[in-house]
Amino acid sequence: MSNLLYLNTENTHSLSKDILKPKIDRDKIKTGIAHIGLSNFHRAHQAYYIHELIEKHDELNFGICGIDLLESDRKIYNILKDQDGLYTLVIKNADGTQEYKIIASIIEYFYGPENPLAAIERLARPDIKIISLTIAEDGYHLNETTGEFNLTHPKVKEDTISKFNPKTVFGYLTQAFMLRKHRGLPGCTILSCDNIKANGATIKKSFYTYVEKTEPSLLPWLKKNTSFPNSMVDRITTVTTTKDIELLKETYNIHDQWPVVCEPFSKWIIEDDFIAGRPDWDKVGIEFVQDIEPYENTKLRILNAGHSILGILGTLNGYKYVHEVANDEHFIFFLESFIKTEVNPNFQNIDQHNLKAYTKEVIERFKNTHINDSLSRICKESSSKIPIFVFPTLKDQITNHQSIEYGTFVIAAWCKYYDGIDDFGHSFDIQDSLSNQLIRTAALSHQNPQLFLEKNAFFKDLVTHDLFQERFKYYLSKLRSTPIKECLVLMNK
């Protein structure tokens, strides 16, 4: 590996021909989007689409300025700085072939914890027409019980006191828009790209609540000068492993410190409400709709719920990757039955054939044996995922007096998950901001199952539903005495 090339602008000229070099003159690109949260997902999805738009359609006004706000983002910030914002996207097809592409759409980067005022200043500049976000489900700081913005969350509270050294996206946005207002500058669009229900409406409501508390005089200006389209984003993007980094070195002599690995499938549907203009995203396959709800609901309740279900159930069986569980007929049969019996009947305005086809496609994507999507990624922060992905199905079924057997089984398995031991006696890591509470309440549930439901506020009124309680107790006791696979055989009969 004598010719190892460190990925940066200068070295792209010497790259091997096979790898898709960016055909972009980066000096000509102007920044038009500030993106908060340079996650793998952002780099496989939004940054990829912008790259395609620049490369294939000469769109030069919407380059991305990446802004990271979390302490834990220091590493990616340093790497992107080191690599001039370049990184390799590795698309792993189901047939084992791979496509490589060097993505060049991120042209500036800021790191909030190091210099919050610089990041605020950058967000305030009028060339930024869109501020997009991937801050994950827990970045929205929603109250577990009410689902409303949690003004008492410690980080949020800290931001209300220390306004110019914010920790949350709300603190940053408020100060950036204060500057825009004082300088007589225009507003812009805030585009959430996270897997939460009505993501645009949610960030809007939360942001307004925060502003009302901290800078109430800004609110009328915001209402006139910002927009918050809802969007549905989709592309399975895994955690990058050392093997992925090594493979690039061996195959192409490239040393990329943080490539991104994803599946070939990609979708982005957005409500067309961009107050300061937007790129011609339609040219690269992005769809614009009036109402995102049906698209978002099917994705959250089928794909994301399906992921969580395979993640939790599969972990209890000692599996490590999504494709292992998705290729085990017991687990897939269970998932299909859940979707068919308890999820799909609630989509009354969607053609059942389309739902069937969508489910089939999702399961095929899960089966891709080449992307190595780890169950630990799926199960991470389940406490903010399950209430979004699975609870709405349970609630609809309860309202309609229909079956809740599969959904309740999943919740019982989720409780058992916090025992932290699989059916072969191996322990696994639990990564969740509520892990202490979840582990403690799961421990209490050995004596009294009801305590898992009562002591985790996110269950809200599910706790008081008699049939749900009864079935939860039944399945939990079954799961604690019988291996998951045997339980699935019984469920699948």
The SS3 call for residue 197 is: coil
Q: Nearest approach, Cβ of 238 to ligand CS2 (angstroms)? A: 8
- CB nearer to ligand CS2: give 362 or 404: 362
CB atoms within 10 A of CB 470: 11
Contacting residues toward ligand CS2, per CB under 6 A? 195, 234-236, 304, 307-308, 378, 385
Q: What gap in Å lies between CA 489 and CA 491, rounded to an integer? A: 6
Whether the Cβ atoms of residue 471 and residue 449 lie closer than 8 Å to each other: no
Tokens of 245: 């980094």
* Shortest separation between residue 432's beta carbon and ligand CS2, angstroms: 12
Q: How far is the CB of 385 from ligand CS2 (least distance, A)?
A: 5
In the complex, minimum distance from the CB of residue 155 to ligand CS2, in angstroms, rounded to a whole number? 21
The token duo for 394 is: 């349970």
Taking CB positions, which residue lies at the least distance from ligand CS2?
307
Q: Which is nearer to ligand CS2, 275 or 343 (CB)?
A: 343
CB of 395 to ligand CS2, least distance (A): 20
Q: How far is the CB of 473 from ligand CS2 (least distance, A)?
A: 27
Q: How far is the CB of 298 from ligand CS2 (least distance, A)?
A: 12
User: Looking at beta carbons only, is 169 or 378 nearer to ligand CS2?
Assistant: 378
Beta strands in 367-446 (DSSP E): none
Nearer to ligand CS2, 46 or 304 (CB): 304
Identity of the residue, 159 or 373, whose beta carbon is nearer to ligand CS2 in the bound complex: 373
Considering the complex, state which of residue 5 and residue 262 has its C-beta at the smaller distance from ligand CS2. 262
How far, in Å, CA of 253 to CA of 246, rounded?
9
Nearer to ligand CS2 (CB atom), residue 222 or residue 390: 390
For 311, phi then psi, to 5°, come to: -60, -50
| Residue 345 CB contacts under 8 Å (≥ 6 apart), including other chains | 397, 400, 402
Burial code (b: 16+ CB inside 10 Å, e: under 16) for 85-122 equals: bbbbbbbbebeeeeebbbbbbbbebbbbbeebeebbeb
> Measured from the CB of residue 493, what is the shortest distance to ligand CS2 in angstroms?
28
Tell me the backbone φ, ψ of residue 130, rounded to 5 degrees. -140, 130
CA 309 – CA 320 distance, rounded (Å): 13
Smaller CB distance to ligand CS2: residue 134 or 168?
Answer: 134
DSSP H or E segment with residue 169: helix 169-182
- 387, 434 in Cβ contact below 8 A? no
Measured at the CA of 197, the angle between CA 333 and CA 373, to 5 degrees, comes to 45
Helix axes 405-417, 382-389, angle to 10 degrees: 180
